Amino acid sequence: MFELDDTIAAISSSAGSAGRAIVRLSGPRALEIADSLFISDSPSAIVDSPGFRSRVGIVQTGSIELPAVVYIFRRPRSYTRQDMVELHIPGPAAGAESLLNSLIRLGAREAGPGEFTARAFFSGRIDLSQAQAVSDVIHASGEAQLRSAIAALQGRTSRLCASAASAIADVLAEVEASIDLGDELIDVVVPAELANRLDLVALELKRITENSTDISEIGQLPRVVIIGRPNAGKSSLLNVLSGTPRAIVSALAGTTRDVLSVEMQTPHGSSVMLQDIAGLVTDARDAIAAAAQEAARAALSSADMIILLADASAPDGDGLEPPEDYDCPVLKVANKVDLRRPNDGAWDVMISCRTLEGIDLLKARICDCLHLNTGCSEALGLHHRQKRALSQAGELSLCAASLLRGAAEVSDVAELVSQDLRGALAELGSISGRIVSDDVLGRIFERFCVGK
Ligand SMILES: Nc1nc2c(ncn2[C@@H]2O[C@H](COP(=O)(O)OP(=O)(O)OP(=O)(O)O)[C@@H](O)[C@H]2O)c(=O)[nH]1
Ligand SMILES: [Mg+2]
């Protein structure tokens, strides 16, 4: 799936103009290729330099000369465990493009997304949960996600899996010894004692998954769709909640036609996707209005949560009912309470997009509905794949424990228990990457940007 033995190059600073651009090289010819276009006063070449050194000089890319600082990392003490060079040059991005082209002409291959981190993983420098965390750090939206991604990068997920795997492996060793040694087993192992140890592992795995926060894959932020009659203030609310004037607001009913999606930061540092849609009506006046209603209902069908927004100042109290075919939480919100304050208890939150009354409370209620309140620094961020693997490892441990509990001797159920425990270890191994399919690896690394 990944070529690991050639020399790759990529721009690893972000796109667009910046004060400094970084171009990275990794592979057996990294030092030699960097030497070919770097000129400095140093008497020795980059290939002869020790690692963890920098040199100031000039890089020659075609007819252009750019001032540069070269950072040298020698294998195996580099990110990829290969020889690596970072060339730091002043912006603009055109200089980095030209430098990259020169490196490719000299024999480097342009790296694909995540290839540097893939090399770090395949060389054993980091495990898969840490590789995944590199991408999570890059894509983190909000402080809580960033905190948990950094913790995973520092090995928190790996350590938790390793400690569960080690406890399971200890039990497995004793179970398999009972197969191999049979009657010769000197210290007779009590099945219930092994079962208790597995219960503790399962309990710990359950605790980890229950206390963890979800790391959303890109495009999978929880969707909060704002619905209501035309003019209820849906677009105003989207602007207020997201803190950006993204949606057009007007006193003219029927202003919003397209579905507009904007990211909102929650008070806990996580993100949700807010969607503003056309005001819902039963009688669309024309083909455009009908298309807007169709788009609105399509957005509604994939909502994780609905804000049912009503205009509290409307003469009929805007008694809009929730759509019939939804299966997600609905918050009933009365807007425009600066104009008229409804006094019945039919509303979950009363707000004014004009005076901002009730907006903080609404944000808190959105978090409650979506269970986003665990964004404390202690919560471990996990992907669905990782959560599934942890709970399956827990379930297999429990199955093994119940088999052991029903047996007089460990050897009576040893083969079945061993199968379950090996399965549990494989699940944990799929998180660290010790046992993982190419398909999963492909999906993890394709989330990266080039240069990382
Ligand atoms: N007084 C008052 N006016 C508001 C409030 N919220 C929105 N408005 C006004 O209500 C009108 C409609 O607001 P929009 O946000 O465009 O309403 P909408 O629900 O998106 O309307 P459509 O897109 O047409 O369905 C605008 O004139 C807003 O300024 C509020 O809390 N108080
Ligand atoms: Mg609107």
Amino acid code (one letter) for 96? A
Neighbours of ion ligand 2 (CB under 5 A): 235, 255-256
373 in helix, strand or coil?
coil
Establish whether the linkage from the previous residue to 76 is cis, with ω within 30° of 0: yes
> What pLDDT is attached to residue 373?
57
218 burial class (0-12, 13-18, 19+ CB within 10 angstroms)? exposed
- The residue among 334 and 451 whose pLDDT is bigger is 334
On whether residue 285 sits in a domain, the answer given is yes
Do residues 323 and 302 share a domain?
A: yes
> What pLDDT is attached to residue 417?
94
Spacing, Cα 362 to ligand 1 middle (Å): 17
- Of all protein residues, the one whose alpha carbon is nearest to atom 7 of ligand 1 is 233
Final residue of a structural domain among 349, 369, 389: 369
Give the count of domains, the chain.
3
| pLDDT over 70 (residue 449) | no
On whether residue 375 sits in a domain, the answer given is no
On whether residue 451 sits in a domain, the answer given is no
Do residues 239 and 361 share a domain?
A: yes
d(CA 140, CA 129): 15
> What pLDDT is attached to residue 289?
86
Q: Per the structure block, which two tokens stand in for 381?
A: 């961020």
Q: What is the mean pLDDT of residues 369-387?
A: 69
State the Cα torsion 32-88-146-215 to the nearest 10°.
-50
d(CA 392, CA 414): 20
Least confident stretch, 164-168, 269-273, 443-447:
443-447
> What pLDDT is attached to residue 170?
87
- Of all protein residues, the one whose alpha carbon is nearest to atom 10 of ligand 1 is 233
Spacing, Cα 241 to ligand 1 middle (Å): 14
Q: Where are the alpha helices (DSSP H) in 286-349?
A: 287-301
Q: What is the mean pLDDT of residues 362-369?
A: 90
Q: Where are the beta strands (DSSP E) in 74-198?
A: 84-90, 109-110
On whether residue 2 sits in a domain, the answer given is no
Spacing, Cα 237 to ligand 1 middle (Å): 8
Backbone angles phi, psi at 213, to 5 degrees: -100, 155
**Kind plus residue range of the DSSP H or E element containing 294:** helix 287-301
Final residue of a structural domain among 96, 125, 154: 125
Q: Note down the domain range covering 336.
A: 223-369
Least confident stretch, 207-216, 324-333, 371-380, 433-442:
371-380
High-pLDDT (> 90) share of the chain, %:
42
Whose atoms come closest to the Cα of 308: which ligand? 1
Least confident stretch, 56-60, 190-194, 384-388:
384-388
> What pLDDT is attached to residue 377?
45
> What pLDDT is attached to residue 435?
62
Do residues 243 and 360 share a domain?
A: yes
Atom of ligand 1 nearest to the CA of 237: 15
On whether residue 102 sits in a domain, the answer given is yes
| pLDDT over 70 (residue 141) | no
Spacing, Cα 369 to ligand 2 middle (Å): 24
Q: What is the mean pLDDT of residues 244-250?
A: 90
Atom of ligand 1 nearest to the CA of 276: 20
> What pLDDT is attached to residue 9?
94
Q: Place 254 in a pLDDT band, splitting at 50, 70 and 90.
A: confident
Establish whether the linkage from the previous residue to 28 is cis, with ω within 30° of 0: no
Do residues 239 and 353 share a domain?
A: yes
Q: Enter the pTM of the model.
A: 0.58
Do residues 269 and 308 share a domain?
A: yes
Do residues 206 and 234 share a domain?
A: no
Final residue of a structural domain among 102, 125, 148: 125
| pLDDT over 70 (residue 219) | no
On whether residue 1 sits in a domain, the answer given is no
Spacing, Cα 220 to ligand 2 middle (Å): 24
> What pLDDT is attached to residue 73?
95
Do residues 233 and 308 share a domain?
A: yes
> What pLDDT is attached to residue 376?
44
Whose atoms come closest to the Cα of 230: which ligand? 1
Least confident stretch, 92-106, 353-367, 402-416:
92-106
On whether residue 374 sits in a domain, the answer given is no
Least confident stretch, 206-220, 268-282, 304-318:
206-220
CA–centroid distance for 167 within its chain: 28
> Which residue among 231, 309, 355 is best mutated to probe the pocket of ligand 1, counting the most ligand atoms within 8 A of its Cβ?
231
> What pLDDT is attached to residue 13?
78
Atom of ligand 1 nearest to the CA of 238: 15
Whose atoms come closest to the Cα of 356: which ligand? 1
Q: Place 61 in a pLDDT band, splitting at 50, 70 and 90.
A: confident
- Of all protein residues, the one whose alpha carbon is nearest to atom 1 of ligand 1 is 336
| pLDDT over 50 (residue 218) | no
- Of all protein residues, the one whose alpha carbon is nearest to atom 14 of ligand 1 is 233
State pLDDT tens for residues 385-419: 888 899 999 999 999 999 999 999 888 999 999 99
Q: Is 232 in the pocket of ligand 1 (CB under 6 A)?
A: yes
On whether residue 310 sits in a domain, the answer given is yes
Do residues 233 and 204 share a domain?
A: no
Do residues 178 and 210 share a domain?
A: yes
Backbone angles phi, psi at 269, to 5 degrees: 90, 0
Do residues 198 and 308 share a domain?
A: no
Least confident stretch, 125-129, 185-189, 239-243:
185-189
- The residue among 217 and 19 whose pLDDT is bigger is 19
Q: Place 212 in a pLDDT band, splitting at 50, 70 and 90.
A: confident
Domain CATH number, residue 150: 1.20.120.430
- Of all protein residues, the one whose alpha carbon is nearest to atom 21 of ligand 1 is 231
Half-sphere exposure of 362 (CA within 13 A, CB side): 30
Q: Is 356 in the pocket of ligand 1 (CB under 6 A)?
A: no
Total Cβ atoms within 10 A of residue 257: 16
State pLDDT tens for residues 257-279: 889 999 888 877 677 899 999 98
Q: Is 279 in the pocket of ligand 1 (CB under 6 A)?
A: yes
High-pLDDT (> 70) share of the chain, %:
85
Domain CATH number, residue 256: 3.40.50.300
> What pLDDT is attached to residue 135?
79
Do residues 148 and 227 share a domain?
A: no
195 in helix, strand or coil?
helix
